[in-house]
């Protein structure tokens, strides 16, 4: 008697050791959005961070570009199972934006033009882990990919890298975002396959 059912060949193997479990490589950059694509010009664009005490800092487009800009090459992983390796971005680190802000908050709720939100622990935005990205592959970030600027948090599933980012609100308590309220995992670590709530 065979110990393997005919037609069963086991789980597909990952194509690369750089891929989290359940992911496959793509050369494309798939476009997935929860709603229509906002078209925000750099003249209109504004970004704010509000602390748990109500202190609010804002940056317009030129003020963002006046901060130290970094080139980063990172792997990105979508909850829908595609991954792109060694993607190239340019942006401003959240460390630079948070440098002069006093906060004891543990959580961040990220907001976007169009109303999208996502939640993250504040620690996942600091220490070189996250950027406000405005270029991809040496070109301005296209609107369908979140331009003029999106959050980039490459160590978490890509829904955490909110497109069309315009705000971060810091808090002592975690408030779930759009997909998290719809059943997606509150944290979203691709290496632990934290796609959905169990």
Tell me: the pLDDT tens digits for 78-130? 999 999 999 999 999 999 999 999 999 999 999 999 999 999 999 999 999 99
Residues composing the chain = 198
For the chain, list residues with pLDDT below 50.
1-14
For domain 24-30+40-192, the CATH class is alpha beta
Q: What residues contact 72, with CB distance under 8 A and at least 6 apart?
A: 88, 89, 90, 91, 131, 133, 152
Long-range contacts of 43-46 (CB under 8 A, 24+ apart): 45/148, 45/149, 45/166, 46/166
- For the entire predicted model, the pTM comes to 0.89
Domain boundaries, the chain: 24-30+40-192
* 26 phi/psi in degrees, rounded to 5: -135, 145
Note whether 108 and 125 are within 8 A (CB): yes
Q: Tell me the average pLDDT of the chain.
A: 91
């Amino acid at each position: 008697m065979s110990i393997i059912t005919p037609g069963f060949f086991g789980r597909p193997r990952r194509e690369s050791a750089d891929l989290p479990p359940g992911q496959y490589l793509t050369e494309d950059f798939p476009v997935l959005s929860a709603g229509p694509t906002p078209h925000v010009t750099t003249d209109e664009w504004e970004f704010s961070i509000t602390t748990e005490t109500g202190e609010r800092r804002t940056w317009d487009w030129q003020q963002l570009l006046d901060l130290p800009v970094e080139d980063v090459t990172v792997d990105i992983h979508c909850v829908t199972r595609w991954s792109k390796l060694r993607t190239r971005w340019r942006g401003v680190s959240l460390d630079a934006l948070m440098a002069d802000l006093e906060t004891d908050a543990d959580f961040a709720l990220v907001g976007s033009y169009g109303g999208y939100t996502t939640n993250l622990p504040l620690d996942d935005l600091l220490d070189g882990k996250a950027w406000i990205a405005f270029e991809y592959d040496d070109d301005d970030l296209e609107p369908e990919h979140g331009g003029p600027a999106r959050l980039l948090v490459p160590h978490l599933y890509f829904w955490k890298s909110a497109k069309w980012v315009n705000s971060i609100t810091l808090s002592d308590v975690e408030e779930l975002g759009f997909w998290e309220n719809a059943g997606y995992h509150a944290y979203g670590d691709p290496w632990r396959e934290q796609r959905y709530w169990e």
